[in-house]
Amino acid sequence: MAELLGEEELRQYEEDGCLFPVSGLFSTSRLAEVDALLSTLVEQRPQIDRGDACNLAPEDLLNLHLTCREVWDLCREPSCLRAASQLLGTTDLSVFTSRVLCKEPRTGKEIVWHQDSNYWPLTRPGNDKPRSELGPEDVDPLVSSLWLAVDDVTAENGPMEVLPFSAQPESRGQNVPASFILDAGGSTAGFDNFNLSLDSTRLNTAKRRKVEICRGEAEFHSAFTIHRSEANRSTKRRLAWIVRYCPTGTRVVGGVRGSFDEGYPLVPVMGKGAEERHGELHSILGGGSELAKIKHEVYAPCFGNAVQALKK
């Protein structure tokens, strides 16, 4: 399989924990298909109740690779797998989470500085402890998040900002010290408590980088990369596709964070186990009445407490 990223790009990711812009993942025609797919999923999201307002926000379309055939195929896009394989140093890849993220015009809210690693209780392949003996000390997520811009990302429509490892060495491959973390408290029994942010006065925010990229370009970052984003203050939507890859053999450490437990699905998409597929997949390409029949099955992963934690 041909390599997609060059030595300099790999060095940058290793040095900074982030890489952008990455071009060439999608052809013009394939990107148009992706746009149509994600736009349909946003537009057709179901109502939870009979009210006029849709309770499922366009930012909250989570883990549809578990139910939607086209999203499953998007997770297995060969170019994306090649890039993630290089960044993670393995040809055995699984999907941890996926997300369709649409910031509608003049909507949304600020997402404060944080590390995803504080929310993801994963242990790496090679940890041979029995599952029953895994604990918080084993949490060490090795994840590379792909963030694809389906629309241009500008200073006005809520771009992500990142703090490279080189700007904040305390985050290089690890959680920042406890003194950096602001804990808002509350129960973490469910997925709905975004309680662990970072004290901006301890961060080198002068060296933050805005991820302003063009349609079709992508950004990759690690689980430890510090980042934030603003609301969309523009008159245009900002649609993105996010998929988080981890090495196959990664395990969830149960009882550490929310409802991530032993049964949480880490689905192989490349290499070992990738030819196996569990669960029923629905196609949304038919649209119309057919989509109406299967809508709640397709969007099932979005409902319940899973929404808040998976969108972090």
Which run of H or of E encompasses 196? Answer: strand 196-198
Residue 312: what pLDDT?
41
Amino acid 29: pLDDT:
98
Distance (Å) of CA 155 to CA 15, 105, 115, 121, 161? 25, 13, 22, 33, 10
**Which residues face 147 on adjacent strands?**
219, 242
Amino acid in position 127? N
Q: Torsion angle of alpha carbons 202, 119, 116, 24, nearest 10°?
A: 180
> How does pLDDT run across 85-135, given as a tens digit for each residue?
999 999 999 999 999 999 999 987 788 999 999 999 999 999 999 999 999
What is the chain's percent helix, strand, coil content, to nearest 5?
30, 25, 50
In this prediction, residue 305 carries a pLDDT of: 46
Question: Which pLDDT does position 107 carry in this prediction?
Answer: 84
CA angle 132, 138, 140 (to 5 degrees): 135
**How confident is the model over 197-243, as pLDDT tens digits?**
999 999 999 999 999 999 999 999 999 999 999 999 999 999 999 99
Reply yes or no on whether the pLDDT at 304 is more than 60. Answer: no
Give the position of tokens 């057919």: 290
The CATH T-level fold of domain 7-310 is Jelly Rolls (2.60.120)
Of 148, 188, 181, 122, whose CA–CA distance to 23 is shortest? 148
Task: Report d(CA 284, CA 69) in Å as an integer.
Answer: 8
Has residue 191 got a pLDDT over 70? no
Residue 188 above 50 pLDDT?
Answer: yes
Residue 6, judged by CB atoms within 10 A of its CB (0-12, 13-18, 19+), counts as exposed
Question: pTM of the full predicted structure?
Answer: 0.92
Q: What is the pLDDT of residue 274?
A: 92
8 A C-beta contact, residue 229 and residue 166: no
Q: Is 161 or 278 the better-scoring residue by pLDDT? A: 161
Residues 18-69: pLDDT tens digits?
A: 999 999 999 999 999 999 999 999 998 876 554 544 467 888 899 999 999 9
Q: Which residues contact 200 (CB under 8 A, 6 or more apart)?
A: 112, 113
pLDDT tens digit sequence for 130-168: 999 999 999 999 999 999 999 999 999 999 999 999 999
**Diameter of the chain by CA atoms?**
54
* pLDDT for res 185: 77
> 286 pLDDT band (50/70/90 cuts)?
low
State residue 285's pLDDT score.
74
